[in-house]
Amino acid sequence: MGLILTPSPLEAATFAPFGFVIQVDGRAGRRVNQDRALRLDGFGVLRHEAPANKPIVSLYAIDASKLPLDIALVERHPLSSQLFVPMQACRALVVVAPSGNDGMPGVDHVRAFLSQPGQAICYHPGTWHAPLFAIDEAAAFTMMMWESGTARDCEEFSLPEPLSVRAV
């Protein structure tokens, strides 16, 4: 049996090594759009390497999953940040791992987070992550990243043993 994980709440500080969380969080903003909206800045920067020069916007319609579940594969996008914004209120399971010294996922340091309605995420370029899981009900996410049209746009790694994510 592989590693057993219990997801933590998705919080900006604990997710920071892997990317950033976007949410209305009480930070100071500025009024825009004829004072009808509050613009909140400073969540993070969308980054990409020069070979990834084609901006992509896609829709992910994700089937519902229930905890517990097993994860057998992780992926990364070494050339680009990858942003996921939920299109309706939902919870999502976010599983990430740092790169080890060999560039492969550091499975011993994998983290699982459970997002709440109103939270979006952006992975830093090169962050190993499991595919996103919609928890309890199907969900739709807008995804944005840059692509080069090469195999470096998405690198996958099959885990030697599945990770098991248990309910909170």
Domain holding 49, by residue range, is: 4-165
CB of 48 closer than 8 Å to CB of 153? no
Q: Which helix (H) or strand (E) holds 15?
A: helix 12-15
CATH of the domain at 122: 2.60.120.480
Distance, in Å, from the CA atom of 125 to the CA atom of 46, rounded to the nearest integer, reads: 9
Q: Which of 39-48, 65-74, 84-93 has the lowest mean pLDDT?
A: 39-48
Distance, in Å, from the CA atom of 118 to the CA atom of 23, rounded to the nearest integer, reads: 6
- Determine the pLDDT at residue 61: 97
pLDDT, averaged across the chain: 94
CA-to-CA separations, 3 to 51, 102, 107, 158, 166, in angstroms, rounded: 35, 20, 8, 14, 11
Terminal Cα-to-Cα distance of the chain (whole angstroms): 19
Residues in Cβ contact with 105 at an 8 Å cutoff, skipping those fewer than 6 apart: 74, 76, 97, 98, 99, 128, 157, 159
- The pTM assigned to this predicted structure is 0.93
CB of 62 closer than 8 Å to CB of 138? yes
For 78-98, the pLDDT digits (tens) are: 999 999 999 999 999 999 999
The 10 Å Cβ neighbour count of residue 154 is: 15
Q: What's the total number of domains in the chain?
A: 1
